[in-house]
Amino acid sequence: MDKNYVIGVDYGSDSVRSVIIDAANGAELASSVFNYPRWQQGLYCNPAENQFRQHPLDYIEGLEATIKDCIQIAGGSEIAKNIKGISVDTTGSTPVAVDAKGTPLALLPAFSENPHAMFVLWKDHTATGEAAEINEHATKFDINYLKYVGGIYSSEWFWAKLLRTVRVDTAVKNALHSWVEHCDWIPFLLTGGNDVKKIKRSRCAAGHKALWAEEFEGLPPQEFFSSLDPILNGITDKLFSETYTSDVAAGNLSQEWAQKLGLSTDVVVGVGAFDAHMGAVGGQIEPYHLSKVMGTSTCDILVCPNEDVEGKLVKGICGQVNGSVIPGMAGLEAGQSAFGDVYAWFKKLLLWPLDNLLASSAIVDKKTAEALKDEIADKIIPELSRQAALLPIETHNELAIDWLNGRRTPDADQLLKGAISGLNLGSDAPKVFRALAESTCFGAKAIVDRFIEEGVPVKGIIGIGGVAKKSPFVMQMMADVLEMPIRIHQFKHTCALGAAMFAAVAAGIYDTVEEAMQAMGRGFDVTYEPNEKNFAIYRKRYEQYKALGGFVVGQTSAKAQKTVSV
């Protein structure tokens, strides 16, 4: 009897991973990861200016390499003939300027080395000024066009990035026929699309980042954008009004891509979505259980029946959209702009001597120096975690704020900075690391508290992603801070599994996302139960965190006001 296999493709910040999944039971037949080569070299990025761009060739090369690798690992043509669907998730908001055929401008010779013609990664914060303008501009209208994105527009999102791009690069502005999210472009690519007007836009991306809403019958009116800046005159004509949930087919695999991948043109390609939203499905999300995808940042997803939030708008989150996660339910999104990135920053700080001095050592040769550096780099975070776990939790400990990449939620403000206080001559690496870990957990609590304050209960936490799988120290701390259990999903590539579930629905193997989740879900392998003896001290520490955060906000605002006045 023929099998039904599906492919899930998950584009992360540093790499793309693909999986082949048996649609009958969710078993993984193969997985493959491809690190973006241009991104690894730091090309087209300027961290000092918060500029993070990715070349479409990294995405295309990774797509072909991982799927072909998966097929070979799984068994070659015998497996390939039974693959029925492919679905894709990506980071977001990660948009790009395209031409009339829907081709990213960076794939054209004239723009091949132009960062403004490339995908503007979610973590790119060059558009903080534009985001502030959008927020101020929205107050001039009787209709609150920001109401479904928490009332605050972020520099991480679609419109802020578009406005900045057309302002700073006239050539890109003149060549731009549309502005397209990464999760919308990959299905368009796979289906052989050549007319930008026919791209099926994701409900998830459009609703959470681009101000699309059912109440507005699409995007805000043209007048909203042209009065923001005349440079946007006619922009809505280049975009979209209709959106699609990810259980819908974007089309079939094109002849070109079928030949490249060794698949049939009968393979159905689903409408795309953001990684955390598909990851929540892969992680078997339940109503009112917060799904936290914990990687470089976090993206927190909660679903509930539409009728439960009718007339209710949660302030300061990344939006609530009908069908953005599970069709027929409201999807609410929040998150932290830096999570794993906080630990990665500290690791990089500690590695500075090895990165900059060891190669010139007169004692060890270059090959040994590199091996030594790699060995220590692998051990730093696990050993810091072990040492930090032994430290007593006290109110006078070092204290940190996790806004190293700004604050996503609650209340987006990408101009905010991280901070560490309470340092003394006894402050060593494990103590500072513990403070940083606490800060990321307190940031998670701020999100949970906002949902609860706004009348949306949070009954439990589902942990997904690299940090959730690799750091028992952080997960136990988070359970203690949140005072609720955290279940860790057992599947390694949970976002890719979620994409595979959507592929199974788009291909007609299952009628609904819920049916696919039930059949293909892989369950949980660890539960971190909160330790009641730590509740009281963490409550005090959280109050200290909020007080320090308030100081940082005040200083940032004062600095901003001073800059404006000068």
| Whether 213 contacts 150, CB under 8 Å | no
Q: What pairs with residue 329 in β-bridges?
A: 305
From residue 16, give the alpha-carbon distance in Å to each of 97, 158, 204, 381, 495. Answer: 21, 22, 20, 24, 11
Q: Tell me whether residue 228 is exposed, middle or buried, using C-beta atoms within 10 angstroms of its C-beta: 0 to 12, 13 to 18, 19 or more.
A: buried
Sign of CA dihedral 245, 249, 255, 260: positive
Domains 5-283+491-525 and 340-489+531-565 share a fold: yes
Helical packing angle, 366-389 and 429-453, nearest 10°: 60
Q: What is the pTM of this model?
A: 0.91
DSSP state of 14: S
- Given this model, what pLDDT does residue 564 score? 39
- Given this model, what pLDDT does residue 558 score? 54
DSSP state of 149: G
The CATH number given to 5-283+491-525 is 3.30.420.40
- Cβ-based neighbour number of residue 423 at 10 Å: 12
List of residues 6+ apart from 353 with CB closer than 8 A: none
Whole-number Å distance between alpha carbons of 96 and 106: 9
From residue 327, give the alpha-carbon distance in Å to each of 61, 203, 278, 323, 361. Answer: 32, 10, 12, 4, 59
Q: Tokens at residue 246, please?
A: 């990810």
- What b/e string do you get for 1-39 counting C-beta neighbours within 10 Å, with b at 16 or more? eeebbbbbbbbbbebbbbbbbbbeebebbbbbbbebebb
Complete DSSP assignment for 52-70: -EE-HHHHHHHHHHHHHHH
268-270 and 460-464 beta bridge pairing? unpaired
Residue 360 three-state SS: helix
Whole-number Å distance between alpha carbons of 264 and 269: 12
Whole-number Å distance between alpha carbons of 446 and 136: 25
Q: What are phi and psi of 526, to 5 degrees?
A: -140, 140
249-252 and 460-464 beta bridge pairing? unpaired
- Cβ-based neighbour number of residue 543 at 10 Å: 12
- What b/e string do you get for 87-110 counting C-beta neighbours within 10 Å, with b at 16 or more? bbbbbbbbbbbbbeebbbbbbeee
Would you identify the CATH topology of the domain 340-489+531-565?
Nucleotidyltransferase; domain 5 (3.30.420)
List of residues 6+ apart from 142 with CB closer than 8 A: none
Going residue by residue through the chain, which has 566 residues, state the pLDDT in tens, using 9 for 90 and above.
579 999 999 999 999 999 999 999 999 999 999 999 999 999 999 988 999 999 999 999 999 999 999 999 999 999 999 999 999 999 999 999 999 999 999 999 999 999 999 999 999 999 999 999 999 999 999 999 999 999 999 999 999 999 999 999 999 999 999 999 999 999 999 999 999 999 999 999 999 999 999 999 999 999 999 999 999 999 999 999 999 999 999 999 999 999 999 999 999 999 999 999 999 999 999 999 999 999 889 999 999 999 999 889 999 999 999 999 999 999 999 999 999 999 999 999 999 999 999 888 889 898 999 999 999 999 999 999 999 999 999 999 999 999 999 999 999 898 899 999 999 999 999 999 999 999 999 999 999 999 999 999 999 999 998 899 999 999 999 999 999 999 999 998 999 999 999 999 999 999 999 999 999 998 999 999 999 999 999 999 999 999 999 999 998 865 554 443 33
Return the ∠ at Cα 427 (arms to 426 and 431), rounded to 5°: 130
Q: Tokens at residue 94, please?
A: 């990660």
Whole-number Å distance between alpha carbons of 216 and 151: 15
- Given this model, what pLDDT does residue 559 score? 54
Whole-number Å distance between alpha carbons of 73 and 346: 37
Q: What are phi and psi of 13, to 5 degrees?
A: -70, -35
Torsion of CA 76, 77, 81, 87, to 10 degrees: 40
- Given this model, what pLDDT does residue 565 score? 36
Domain parsing of the chain, residue ranges: 5-283+491-525, 340-489+531-565
95-98 and 178-181 beta bridge pairing? antiparallel
Q: What pairs with residue 487 in β-bridges?
A: 462, 527
Helical packing angle, 535-565 and 429-453, nearest 10°: 90
